[in-house]
Chains A and B, each alone.
Chain A
Amino acid sequence: MNPIVVGSLESSDCLITLTPHPSRKIAIESIVYDAYHDAIHAVIMSLLDDYNLQRVHVLCQDKGALEYTIKARLKTAILRFKEVHHES
């Protein structure tokens, strides 16, 4: 099944890839991994909760994106994912 891909690998952006998965799984690759992994993970978890999305694998490839960017990219990806996979 084709993954949902949103964003870019340009500076200050992030590339979010969503694929169906039996349970929620989050993978983060970041140029500021040590300092911000936990914060990025929390942002992703929070938004997935807001949209009640459980069965998904999230790959966040971060190039120094601020929180508002990660939220925006993930929101777009979630909405597209729900549309494609008919998630309510």
Chain B
Amino acid sequence: MSRSFLFIPGDVPRMIQQLEIFGADAIILDLEDSVSMTQKDEARHLVESFLRKHHYQNPLIYIRVNPIDSEEYTYDISTLQNLRIHGIVLPKASLKGIEKVAKDLPQCKIIALMETPEAFLEIAAIAKHKRVEGLLLGAEDLAQALNLERTEKSDEILYVRSQVVLTAKAFKKIAIDTPYTNLTSNEGLLEDAQKARQLGFDAKASIHPNHIDTIHQAFSPTKENIKRAKRIVAYAETHHTMRFSLDGKMVDKPIIEHAKAILDAAKRYRLD
């Protein structure tokens, strides 16, 4: 499972051709907000040309298309046919939009960008859709729509963050947190990412390559967690038991399953 989703503008070759070295688990090549209206065709052709030549499985490649009610969306879909990508990120997600993308690009998974109040009124239906792989919170656009002032501590988005996590997990989908937009505070980024992890998010989006290492730090199991998880799993397997005491703390099935998940993650991220 990806810990980081890095947005890269679709019209900047210098960044596109370096996408592997940024270290993100997933890349979102952007045709929407980071591309000006006069350069949409440039971005489309650049992304198309790049992906016809290069194929990646690590990092996973997603493309953020333009909103379904825009003329640009039609051109995006036409360009993206038969490109080898992992998925589409749909801005201003709605159930209607998800159904349209699912029909227009049958080979792609979809990440729903939850950034309008209306999307939250149908969040369960969006998450339940079989082609939806995950929910990505878009807090900046949502804050604008809700007339919220964004703050460093992000208390104002606690409710929607929790709603995204709860709904995504209910349908076994990926929960992806909104990007941290302050590019000058690494401490703030780490705190924000750790808070997202504590809330249950699986991953965090980013708009700057410099954020990736810190996001991975927050979303990877710590050495202490891995060490304890190994002891839990070893004890359970050695003693053929699902219920025991370790270091004075009770261990039962959910904790053993959690320990196994930590070890899986450690293996996936080569931390073991």
A11 to B16, CA, bound (A): 12
A1 to B45, CA, bound (A): 25
A8 to B17, CA, bound (A): 16
Q: Which residues of B contact A44 (CB under 8 A)?
A: none
Name the segment of B46-54, B89-97, B122-130 touching the other chain: B46-54
| Known A6-B42, A7-B42, A80-B41; contact A72-B48, beta-carbon cutoff 8 A | yes
| Known A12-B13, A65-B13, A66-B13; contact A72-B42, beta-carbon cutoff 8 A | yes
Is A76 within 8 A of B13, CB to CB? no
- Answer yes or no: B14 CB below 8 A from chain A CBs: yes
A57 to B96, CA, bound (A): 46
What are 12 A-B pairs with beta-carbon distances under 8 A? A11-B14, A12-B17, A13-B13, A66-B13, A66-B17, A68-B52, A72-B42, A72-B46, A72-B49, A73-B42, A76-B42, A80-B41
Is A68 within 8 A of B42, CB to CB? no
Is A10 within 8 A of B50, CB to CB? no
Q: How many positions in chain B have a CB within 8 Å of any CB in the partner chain?
A: 14
Is B41 within 8 A of A76, CB to CB? yes
Q: Which residues of B contact A67 (CB under 8 A)?
A: 53
Q: How many positions in chain A have a CB within 8 Å of any CB in the partner chain?
A: 18
Chain B interface (Cβ < 8 Å from any Cβ of A): 12-14, 17, 41-42, 45-46, 48-50, 52-54
A61 to B45, CA, bound (A): 18
A68 to B45, CA, bound (A): 9
Chain A interface (Cβ < 8 Å from any Cβ of B): 6-7, 10-13, 65-69, 71-73, 75-76, 79-80
Q: Which residues of B contact A11 (CB under 8 A)?
A: 14
Partner of A76, one of B17, B45, B52, B54: B45
A80 to B17, CA, bound (A): 25
Is A68 within 8 A of B14, CB to CB? no
- Interface centre among B12, B41, B45, B48, by most chain A C-beta atoms within 10 angstroms, is B45
Q: Which residues of B contact A10 (CB under 8 A)?
A: 12, 14
A68 to B41, CA, bound (A): 15
Known contacts A12-B14, A13-B12, A68-B52, then 13 further A-B pairs from the complex at CB < 8 Å, ordered by chain A residue: A10-B12, A13-B14, A65-B13, A66-B17, A68-B13, A68-B17, A68-B46, A68-B53, A73-B45, A73-B46, A75-B49, A76-B45, A80-B41
A69 to B16, CA, bound (A): 10
Q: Which residues of A contact B54 (CB under 8 A)?
A: 68
A67 to B12, CA, bound (A): 14
Partner of B49, one of A6, A12, A13, A69: A69
- Interface centre among A73, A76, A79, by most chain B C-beta atoms within 10 angstroms, is A76
A69 to B53, CA, bound (A): 11
A6 to B45, CA, bound (A): 11
A76 to B45, CA, bound (A): 7
Q: Which residues of B contact A13 (CB under 8 A)?
A: 12-14
Is A71 within 8 A of B41, CB to CB? no
Q: Which residues of A contact B46 (CB under 8 A)?
A: 68-69, 72-73
Closest B residue to A66 by CB, please name it. B17
Q: What distance in Å separates the Cβ of A72 from its nearest Cβ neighbour in chain B? A: 4
Q: What distance in Å separates the Cβ of B40 from its nearest Cβ neighbour in chain A? A: 10
Closest B residue to A75 by CB, please name it. B45
A76 to B52, CA, bound (A): 16
A71 to B53, CA, bound (A): 11
Q: Which residues of A contact B53 (CB under 8 A)?
A: 67-68
